[in-house]
Amino acid sequence: MSDETLSNLSTETRRFEPPAELAANANVKAEAYDRAEADREAFWAEQAERLDWDQKWDRVLDWDDPPFAKWFVGGRINAAYNCVDRHVEAGKGDKVAIHWVGEPEDDTREITYADLKDQVCQAANALIELGVETGDRVAIYLPMIPETVVAMLACARIGAPHTVVFGGFSADALANRVADCEAKVIITADGGYRRGAPSALKPAVDEAVGKAADLGQKVDKVLVVRRTGQDVAWDEGRDVWWHDSVEKASTEHACEFFDSEHPLYVMYTSGTTGKPKGILHTTGGYLVGTSYTHWAVFDLKADTDVYWCTADVGWVTGHSYMVYGPLSNAVTQVVYEGTPDSPHKGRWWEIIQTYGVTIFYTAPTAIRTFMKWGSDIPAKFDLSSIRVLGSVGEPINPEAYVWYRATIGGDRVPVVDTWWQTETGQIMISPLPGVTAGKPGSAMKALPGIGADVVNDEGEPVPDGSGGFLVLTKPWPAMLRTLWGDDERFKETYWTRFADQGFYFAGDGAKKDEDGDLWLLGRVDDVMNVSGHRLSTTEIESALVSHPKVAEAAVVGAADETTGQAVCAFVILRESAVEEADEPGEGADLVQELRNHVQKEIGAIAKPRQIMIVPELPKTRSGKIMRRLLKDVAEHREVGDVTTLADSTVMDLIKDKEGSGAGSED
Ligand code: WTA
């Protein structure tokens, strides 16, 4: 990907001007950049006026003790009130908030803002009844159903930070997260629909509760939504049905307003060590950042637009651009439960046609999949309602960008390639659809009010035309405040590398082109990006090594046409297992066993595409695994410089294995 992007940089001359009408009526015009630059804090204070505060702040930013920021200091606010109640009070109670589309056909629900308010109040009352108090953490492990949005907002309403765990994660991953943030309550469902069949969630929760207890965290209550009607094991003292509690609770709940810096949620994301990081977001600044960027980047016209973000709520995109940003802006949006090919490969385009979606936000990996399936599929549907297209999660290669714009956008609508992270909370680098002449493959410029640059090893800005590390040079409202329970790791991970300059180190490589526009080049650390999901090489290595037959493992992200990167593992077996693997036919079984083991430990998303059983791993004299060389093998390239290896013959042994087909792919 980065190589392709780099080489395209020199040849990419295509430019797409904003459509004239969109530019003329754009929410944000070019003047915003200078205005924000002249007085950043005044700019963000102006954006904070978008929200309803019970009490206004007396200081916009407290950056006296970096890197610990406080935004809108002294302000009091409730996120759920801003996403729901105030719209009802403004007379928009009958407006559809969510067109919900279940995966089984004709399984749909329309939820108005008035409905949402009632349901959020009911859930808030039910959570209080279950013993949840302000400040308590609540874990949410749910499919893409309306109750998920309701559960998140109910937590926000009572000031109980939520931690949503992606439904594709395993019981172990859930248990680790529950234990790390000490959640007393888990909200889940019997299951959800994926790829045309019900897929269970509750058994993983039952297992996770036991594992969390082993880790010292007792889960008191499990609140269960009935979605699929699957049989579930039931613990009378612990488990409570959503329909017996939430749906029977009062729809009246007077909300309390919390300090602007009150924790809103913890979202776990992969870092460079085996232990996921709990990214902490707080209330006021986060809501300002997501609300403003959602309105600015998508040129949102809330009265007429129909918005759809396809991200799963288990990731930050689902938090910022399905829940908090859009709902604080009173949008009408689509939420879809399932996969794009159920029951047919045109399902997404059919949904766009049915609901008249005008703003569509998805990931490059999905776009590349649709390219593979063929343009004739979207061509069968009327997509003329679309006026803005967005992309997020990984670098979008120019060909995918151009296909997206042409095939889904009818060659008329702008594509906004939005760069941001779980840590940033809000979009940071992106074109503005009414201002920017887009270049395919470039995220272009930092948004108004945001400071970004590309620097060399010494932290000095590189000149136009050169590459380096992406840094964020100024604090921003939705920035992470710390890592849950680990201030030291927070400082170390993001603020040490360029401590002298006070820059935030994003972990991404980037290049400035001759015009100073930014091209993102992927991670510079041991974090992979598979289908827009962040995975840690170390975490998968630990999972592999926890298998009794494995002595050592090294994992790399190898370029993959569809998923961006794919997980490739190199494994050294324990002596006892080597003989077994050498038996004819047994090697493949063992590889399968190891792949399943990773799925069990972390989740299906982390399952290696390929595992190669090798006799040695390439290491430097100091014992560090040289993943660069393994990446060459995984990407079928000539292996690079081996002179720093302790034993330079190792690579020949590995390549021999590759030739003999000891790998597995499916
Ligand atoms: C990558 C997802 C290039 C990047 C919102 C970042 C991107 C990581 C883009 C964060 C983009 C995200 N262009 N790369 N438009 N968007 N990334 O935390 O490597 O899941 O550091 O947040 O995804 O992933 P995360």
26-51: pLDDT as tens digits: 999 999 999 999 999 999 999 999 99
Domains and CATH numbers, the chain: 547-659 (3.30.300.30)
The chain-wide mean pLDDT, for the chain, equals 93
| 534 pocket-lining for ligand 1 (C-beta < 6 Å) | yes
Buried/exposed code over 192-228 (b: 16+ C-beta within 10 A; e: otherwise): bbbeeebeebbebbbebbebbeeeebebebbbbbebb
Q: What is the C-alpha separation between 436 and 243, in angstroms, rounded?
A: 48
| 448 pocket-lining for ligand 1 (C-beta < 6 Å) | no
How far is the CA of 197 from the CAs of 102, 228, 548, 602, in angstroms? Answer: 12, 9, 33, 22
User: What integer pLDDT is reported at residue 39 of this predicted model?
Assistant: 98
Ligand 1 atom at minimum distance from 429 CA: 15
CA of 316 to the centre of ligand 1 (A): 10
| Pocket mutation for ligand 1, best pick of 6, 317, 483, 534 (most atoms within 8 Å of C-beta) | 534
CA of 340 to the centre of ligand 1 (A): 21
Which residue puts its alpha carbon closest to atom 3 of ligand 1?
395
User: What integer pLDDT is reported at residue 7 of this predicted model?
Assistant: 53
Within the chain, which residues score under 50 in pLDDT?
A: 1-4, 660-666
Ligand 1 atom at minimum distance from 430 CA: 15
User: What integer pLDDT is reported at residue 516 of this predicted model?
Assistant: 96
CA of 532 to the centre of ligand 1 (A): 7
| 577 pocket-lining for ligand 1 (C-beta < 6 Å) | no
Would you state the structure tokens that stand for residue 62, as one six-digit string? Answer: 């407290």
User: What integer pLDDT is reported at residue 8 of this predicted model?
Assistant: 53
In this predicted model, what pLDDT tens digit does every residue of 469-489 receive, in sequence order? 999 999 999 999 999 999 999
Peptide bond into 461 cis (omega under 30): no
To the nearest 5 percent, what fractions of the chain are helix, strand and coil? 35, 25, 40
CA of 420 to the centre of ligand 1 (A): 5
Which residue puts its alpha carbon closest to atom 10 of ligand 1?
421
Ligand 1 atom at minimum distance from 396 CA: 13
| 320 pocket-lining for ligand 1 (C-beta < 6 Å) | no
Provide the phi-psi class of 179: left if phi over 0, else alpha when psi is between -120 and 50, else beta.
Answer: alpha
The DSSP output letter for 459 is: S
How far is the CA of 283 from the CAs of 118, 254, 325, 483, 659, in angstroms? Answer: 22, 18, 12, 16, 55
Please tell me the number of Cα atoms within 13 Å of 463 on its side-chain side: 1
Residue ranges with strand state E in 607-646? 610-613
| Pocket mutation for ligand 1, best pick of 297, 421, 442 (most atoms within 8 Å of C-beta) | 421
| 601 pocket-lining for ligand 1 (C-beta < 6 Å) | no
Taking only Cα atoms into account, the Rg of the chain, rounded to an integer number of angstroms, comes to 24
Question: Model's pTM, two decimal places?
Answer: 0.91
* In the block, residue with structure tokens 């959570």: 127
